[in-house]
Chains A and B, each alone.
Chain A
Amino acid sequence: QKEVEQDPGPLSVPEGAIVSLNCTYSNSAFQYFMWYRQYSRKGPELLMYTYSSGNKEDGRFTAQVDKSSKYISLFIRDSQPSDSATYLCAMSGTNAGKSTFGDGTTLTVKP
Protein backbone atom coordinates (compact mmCIF):
# COMPACT_ATOMS: atom_id res chain seq x y z
CA GLN A 1 0.00 0.00 0.00
CA LYS A 2 1.28 3.46 -0.89
CA GLU A 3 2.08 5.92 1.89
CA VAL A 4 0.09 8.63 0.12
CA GLU A 5 -3.09 7.96 -1.84
CA GLN A 6 -4.65 10.69 -3.93
CA ASP A 7 -8.13 10.70 -5.46
CA PRO A 8 -7.29 9.62 -9.00
CA GLY A 9 -9.55 11.77 -11.13
CA PRO A 10 -9.64 13.05 -13.74
CA LEU A 11 -12.02 15.73 -12.58
CA SER A 12 -14.03 17.94 -14.93
CA VAL A 13 -16.10 20.83 -13.55
CA PRO A 14 -17.85 23.90 -14.95
CA GLU A 15 -16.33 27.32 -14.39
CA GLY A 16 -17.31 28.74 -11.02
CA ALA A 17 -17.65 25.35 -9.31
CA ILE A 18 -16.08 24.52 -5.97
CA VAL A 19 -13.46 21.83 -6.37
CA SER A 20 -12.34 19.42 -3.67
CA LEU A 21 -9.06 17.54 -4.09
CA ASN A 22 -8.16 14.93 -1.50
CA CYS A 23 -5.33 12.75 -0.24
CA THR A 24 -5.05 10.18 2.51
CA TYR A 25 -1.86 8.94 4.08
CA SER A 26 -0.67 6.19 6.36
CA ASN A 27 2.52 7.60 7.91
CA SER A 28 1.63 9.35 11.17
CA ALA A 29 5.11 10.97 11.20
CA PHE A 30 4.12 13.34 8.39
CA GLN A 31 4.07 16.93 9.62
CA TYR A 32 4.33 19.06 6.49
CA PHE A 33 1.55 18.93 3.94
CA MET A 34 1.97 20.58 0.55
CA TRP A 35 -0.12 21.10 -2.53
CA TYR A 36 1.52 21.62 -5.89
CA ARG A 37 -0.03 22.62 -9.20
CA GLN A 38 1.53 21.33 -12.37
CA TYR A 39 0.54 22.63 -15.78
CA SER A 40 1.08 20.40 -18.77
CA ARG A 41 4.77 20.06 -19.64
CA LYS A 42 5.84 22.37 -16.79
CA GLY A 43 7.44 21.89 -13.40
CA PRO A 44 5.34 21.62 -10.22
CA GLU A 45 4.60 24.92 -8.51
CA LEU A 46 3.99 25.07 -4.77
CA LEU A 47 0.50 26.39 -4.05
CA MET A 48 0.30 26.06 -0.30
CA TYR A 49 1.78 24.20 2.61
CA THR A 50 0.48 23.50 6.09
CA TYR A 51 2.38 22.45 9.14
CA SER A 52 0.51 19.96 11.31
CA SER A 53 -3.29 20.14 11.48
CA GLY A 54 -5.63 22.95 10.61
CA ASN A 55 -6.75 25.13 7.76
CA LYS A 56 -4.94 27.64 5.63
CA GLU A 57 -6.50 29.99 3.14
CA ASP A 58 -4.91 31.86 0.24
CA GLY A 59 -7.31 33.65 -2.06
CA ARG A 60 -9.56 31.08 -3.70
CA PHE A 61 -7.57 28.18 -2.27
CA THR A 62 -8.06 26.53 1.12
CA ALA A 63 -5.94 23.68 2.44
CA GLN A 64 -7.22 21.48 5.25
CA VAL A 65 -5.33 18.90 7.26
CA ASP A 66 -7.00 16.41 9.59
CA LYS A 67 -4.19 14.44 11.20
CA SER A 68 -6.56 12.34 13.28
CA SER A 69 -8.10 10.98 10.07
CA LYS A 70 -4.85 11.20 8.07
CA TYR A 71 -6.71 13.15 5.43
CA ILE A 72 -5.89 16.36 3.61
CA SER A 73 -7.90 18.43 1.17
CA LEU A 74 -7.47 21.35 -1.15
CA PHE A 75 -10.56 23.39 -1.98
CA ILE A 76 -10.71 25.73 -4.94
CA ARG A 77 -13.54 28.25 -4.91
CA ASP A 78 -14.91 29.93 -8.03
CA SER A 79 -12.80 27.68 -10.22
CA GLN A 80 -11.42 29.18 -13.43
CA PRO A 81 -10.27 27.61 -16.70
CA SER A 82 -6.76 28.71 -15.70
CA ASP A 83 -7.00 26.29 -12.75
CA SER A 84 -6.95 23.38 -15.23
CA ALA A 85 -3.84 21.43 -14.25
CA THR A 86 -2.65 18.39 -12.34
CA TYR A 87 -2.65 18.86 -8.58
CA LEU A 88 -0.16 16.94 -6.49
CA CYS A 89 -0.30 16.51 -2.75
CA ALA A 90 3.00 15.96 -0.95
CA MET A 91 3.92 15.22 2.64
CA SER A 92 7.04 14.98 4.74
CA GLY A 93 8.12 14.33 8.28
CA THR A 94 10.80 16.12 10.30
CA ASN A 95 12.99 16.13 7.19
CA ALA A 96 10.79 18.55 5.30
CA GLY A 97 12.91 18.14 2.18
CA LYS A 98 12.11 14.46 1.79
CA SER A 99 8.56 14.62 0.47
CA THR A 100 6.33 11.74 -0.57
CA PHE A 101 3.99 12.69 -3.37
CA GLY A 102 0.54 11.49 -4.36
CA ASP A 103 -0.09 10.39 -7.93
CA GLY A 104 -1.85 13.62 -8.84
CA THR A 105 -5.39 14.56 -9.84
CA THR A 106 -5.94 16.15 -13.22
CA LEU A 107 -8.53 18.91 -13.11
CA THR A 108 -10.27 20.48 -16.10
CA VAL A 109 -12.41 23.56 -15.60
CA LYS A 110 -14.70 24.12 -18.56
CA PRO A 111 -15.76 27.67 -19.51
Chain B
Amino acid sequence: DTAVSQTPKYLVTQMGNDKSIKCEQNLGHDTMYWYKQDSKKFLKIMFSYNNKELIINETVPNRFSPKSPDKAHLNLHINSLELGDSAVYFCASSQRSRAETQYFGPGTRLLVL
Protein backbone atom coordinates (compact mmCIF):
# COMPACT_ATOMS: atom_id res chain seq x y z
CA ASP B 1 0.00 0.00 0.00
CA THR B 2 1.44 3.34 -1.07
CA ALA B 3 1.57 5.77 1.86
CA VAL B 4 1.97 9.04 -0.08
CA SER B 5 1.20 8.94 -3.77
CA GLN B 6 1.50 11.59 -6.45
CA THR B 7 0.17 11.88 -9.98
CA PRO B 8 1.50 12.24 -12.52
CA LYS B 9 5.04 10.91 -12.08
CA TYR B 10 6.28 12.81 -15.10
CA LEU B 11 4.99 15.97 -16.70
CA VAL B 12 6.43 17.50 -19.85
CA THR B 13 4.76 20.66 -21.04
CA GLN B 14 5.26 23.90 -22.93
CA MET B 15 5.93 27.31 -21.41
CA GLY B 16 2.75 29.20 -20.69
CA ASN B 17 0.61 26.13 -20.04
CA ASP B 18 -1.30 25.44 -16.82
CA LYS B 19 -0.85 22.11 -15.06
CA SER B 20 -1.87 20.36 -11.85
CA ILE B 21 -0.18 17.79 -9.65
CA LYS B 22 -2.18 15.67 -7.22
CA CYS B 23 -1.17 14.11 -3.92
CA GLU B 24 -2.93 11.65 -1.67
CA GLN B 25 -1.89 10.08 1.63
CA ASN B 26 -3.44 7.12 3.40
CA LEU B 27 -1.49 7.47 6.65
CA GLY B 28 -4.25 9.30 8.49
CA HIS B 29 -2.07 12.40 8.84
CA ASP B 30 -3.58 15.84 9.29
CA THR B 31 -0.82 17.89 7.64
CA MET B 32 0.50 17.86 4.10
CA TYR B 33 3.32 19.71 2.36
CA TRP B 34 4.62 20.64 -1.07
CA TYR B 35 8.37 20.83 -1.68
CA LYS B 36 10.38 21.78 -4.75
CA GLN B 37 13.73 20.09 -5.48
CA ASP B 38 15.87 21.76 -8.09
CA SER B 39 18.45 20.18 -10.36
CA LYS B 40 21.12 20.53 -7.66
CA LYS B 41 19.01 18.47 -5.25
CA PHE B 42 18.18 21.49 -3.07
CA LEU B 43 14.86 20.84 -1.37
CA LYS B 44 12.71 23.78 -0.32
CA ILE B 45 9.31 23.88 1.30
CA MET B 46 6.59 25.73 -0.61
CA PHE B 47 3.31 25.19 1.25
CA SER B 48 1.77 23.26 4.09
CA TYR B 49 -1.85 22.54 4.94
CA ASN B 50 -3.29 21.33 8.21
CA ASN B 51 -6.86 20.05 8.03
CA LYS B 52 -7.46 22.03 4.84
CA GLU B 53 -6.03 25.23 6.35
CA LEU B 54 -2.92 26.83 4.85
CA ILE B 55 -0.30 27.06 7.61
CA ILE B 56 2.96 27.54 5.70
CA ASN B 57 3.17 29.73 2.64
CA GLU B 58 6.74 30.43 1.60
CA THR B 59 7.82 33.01 -0.93
CA VAL B 60 6.40 31.35 -4.00
CA PRO B 61 5.09 33.07 -7.16
CA ASN B 62 1.33 33.60 -7.26
CA ARG B 63 1.24 31.27 -10.25
CA PHE B 64 1.44 28.41 -7.75
CA SER B 65 -1.80 27.69 -5.95
CA PRO B 66 -2.27 24.78 -3.58
CA LYS B 67 -5.67 23.33 -2.75
CA SER B 68 -6.61 20.84 -0.09
CA PRO B 69 -10.11 19.40 -0.57
CA ASP B 70 -9.70 17.25 2.55
CA LYS B 71 -6.89 16.31 4.89
CA ALA B 72 -5.89 13.30 2.79
CA HIS B 73 -5.43 15.25 -0.44
CA LEU B 74 -3.30 18.19 -1.49
CA ASN B 75 -3.11 19.44 -5.05
CA LEU B 76 -0.79 21.96 -6.66
CA HIS B 77 -1.91 24.02 -9.63
CA ILE B 78 0.65 25.98 -11.60
CA ASN B 79 -0.40 28.69 -14.04
CA SER B 80 1.62 30.09 -16.93
CA LEU B 81 4.49 27.65 -16.54
CA GLU B 82 8.02 29.02 -16.93
CA LEU B 83 11.31 27.30 -17.73
CA GLY B 84 12.47 27.87 -14.15
CA ASP B 85 9.57 25.80 -12.84
CA SER B 86 11.28 22.66 -14.13
CA ALA B 87 12.07 20.62 -11.01
CA VAL B 88 10.90 17.65 -9.00
CA TYR B 89 7.91 18.43 -6.80
CA PHE B 90 7.46 16.33 -3.68
CA CYS B 91 4.42 15.99 -1.53
CA ALA B 92 4.84 14.95 2.10
CA SER B 93 2.60 14.36 5.09
CA SER B 94 2.84 14.18 8.87
CA GLN B 95 0.83 14.62 12.00
CA ARG B 96 1.02 18.30 12.95
CA SER B 97 2.17 17.33 16.44
CA ARG B 98 4.98 15.24 14.87
CA ALA B 99 5.93 17.55 12.02
CA GLU B 100 9.58 16.51 12.35
CA THR B 101 8.54 13.10 11.03
CA GLN B 102 7.42 13.60 7.47
CA TYR B 103 6.72 10.97 4.85
CA PHE B 104 7.49 11.92 1.28
CA GLY B 105 5.87 10.85 -1.94
CA PRO B 106 7.82 9.61 -4.97
CA GLY B 107 7.89 13.02 -6.65
CA THR B 108 6.57 14.50 -9.87
CA ARG B 109 9.22 15.39 -12.43
CA LEU B 110 8.14 18.53 -14.25
CA LEU B 111 9.93 19.62 -17.39
CA VAL B 112 8.91 22.89 -19.01
CA LEU B 113 10.07 23.31 -22.61
Contacts and interface: CB of A to CB of B under 8 A. Distances in A.
A97 B107 contact: no
Interface stretch (A13-21, A41-49, A59-67, A69-77): A41-49
B27 interface: no
A43 B34 CA distance: 12
B49 to A, nearest CB: 10
Contacts of A84: none
Interface residues of B, number: 26
Contact of B41 (A42, A97, A103): A103
Interface string B40-67: 1111110010000001100000000000
B100 A96 contact: yes
A97 B96 contact: yes
B100 A42 contact: no
Contact of B100 (A34, A41, A44, A103): A34
Interface residues of A, number: 23
B98 to A, nearest CB: 8
A46 B21 CA distance: 23
Contacts of B101: 46, 49
Contacts of B55: 97
Interface string A98-111: 11010110000000
Interface of B: 4, 31, 33, 40-45, 48, 55-56, 90, 92, 94, 96, 98-107
